[in-house]
Amino acid sequence: MDVYIDYNATAILRPEVITAMQNTFQLFGNSSSVHRAGRKAKSAIEEARERIASVVEVSPAEIIFTSGGTESNNLALSNRDIPVFISATEHDSINAVREDSKIINVDVNGIINLEHLEELLSSADRLSMVSVMLANNETGVLQPIQQVVNIARRFGAIIHCDAVQGLGKIPFTFSELGVDMLSISAHKIGGPKGVGALIVKEGIDLPPLLLGGGQERNRRAGTENVTGICGFGVAASLVQSTLKQASNLESMRNKIEFEVKEKIPEVTVYGHGVARLPNTSCIGLPDMSNESQIMALDLAGVYVSAGSACSSGKITPSHVLKAMGFNDNAASSAIRVSLGWQTTENDCNTFISVWTDMVKRIFNSNDLCRSVA
């Protein structure tokens, strides 16, 4: 049986979500139409909006539905003629938005350098924006968002947080984080792909990316994805039950890291020892390309990744690990194991067995594999 442990790329759809989405196929009306069919579709969207708002404790009016985390991040940062400061380990959907973004340094664990952030903000001569992710998609390392907010507030900066990887894995609310804008996505929590949201604090100006019909209170034009949004709403309603799995996922993740490290001492677990997502492990082995590892695991029916999913299908050195100070060899030798709601102990045991067997086969070195039995 295949072992899927790539939940940070996308989570397996929850059955409740599938059922809810199937039920929306009969909602054929355009949600912007004023007739009964349109009102039914609109009502379904607003019910989903309320469900999501309840999870992160915001007003439903503060939620803008988008096509996913990438669009949410782009919407937050685009069309703003102000200085933008981003951490060195942000997702590419942040990195690619503004070529003139100033980079905030991080330490060896990928945690933002707060003194550097303060230095950069003090150099800005006008209103600026800070964008720092809640949890890194490759290493799972958590950022000290409240401290980032405290510093940014002193300089009057607008604060955006990419919380795509955090939702459903660690508890938080919009007010607890204290940010002005927050990006979330459905498919990371067992919902459908192609739908997400940007939460925007009341009073924050948000120039739209898409213009036209005036949907989403004139902040994101285009006919809403009713089926996807309804699926998102149901997935969000299951977040609390998902959070109850956190300790179990952390135990399984720790088991993987301990046993892999015990068998192969040369292994590096990036971000080990600092606060991380309970489901995420970034494992590196010198001189063993992540592409080779992923291909070998794939042939054995074990699915992991090398970091962010990329439409090109090519694996490049991790910009996250390079920002943390590691060389190209290390940045090209790490894989990401990310557990989820269907992960079992047997899945973890299978990964450990397959991965260590792969190391023996590829390296065939008594020195490297001396403890692989």
Q: How far is CA 184 from CA 96, 141, 226, 296, 347, in A?
A: 18, 17, 17, 32, 28
DSSP state of 265: T
The candidate with the shortest Cα–Cα distance to 102, out of 125, 128, 75, is 128
- What is the C-alpha to C-alpha distance for residues 283 and 286, in angstroms, rounded to an integer? 10
Q: Give me the phi and psi of 287, to 5 degrees please.
A: 65, 15
Q: Which of 161, 230, 310, 369 is catalytic?
A: 310
Number of H helices and number of E strands within the chain? 15, 12
Encoding tokens for residue 235? 């997935």
Interhelix angle 36-56/226-237, nearest 10 degrees = 30
- What is the C-alpha to C-alpha distance for residues 193 and 174, in angstroms, rounded to an integer? 23
| Maximal C-alpha separation, the chain | 74
Q: Is 310 a catalytic residue?
A: yes
> Which residue is listed with tokens 């919407």?
75
Please give the positions annotated as active site: 310
